[in-house]
Amino acid sequence: MIGKLKGIVDSYGEDFVILDVQGVGYVVHCSARTLQRLPAVGEPAALSIETFVREDMIRLYGFRSDAEREWFRLLQTVQGVGAKVALGVLSVLEPEALAAAVATGDKGAIARAPGVGPRLAARLAAELKDKAPVFAPLDPALVALSGAVQEGKAPQPITDAISALVNLGYPQGQASAAVAAALKEAGEGAETKVLIRLGLRELAR
- As assigned by CATH, the class of the 4-63 domain is mainly beta
Beta bridge partners of 133: none
How many Å apart are CA 59 and CA 75, to the nearest integer?
18
Ranges of the chain whose pLDDT falls below 70: 132-153, 205
The residue extents of the domains of the chain are 4-63, 66-135, 140-203
Give the predicted TM-score (pTM) of the model: 0.67
Query: Phi and psi for 168 in degrees, rounded to 5?
Result: -80, -5
Taking only the tens place, the pLDDT of each residue in 88-124 is 999 998 887 888 788 777 888 899 898 899 999 999 9
Spatial contact of 19 and 9, defined as CB atoms under 8 Å apart = yes
User: CATH assignment of 66-135?
Assistant: 1.10.150.20
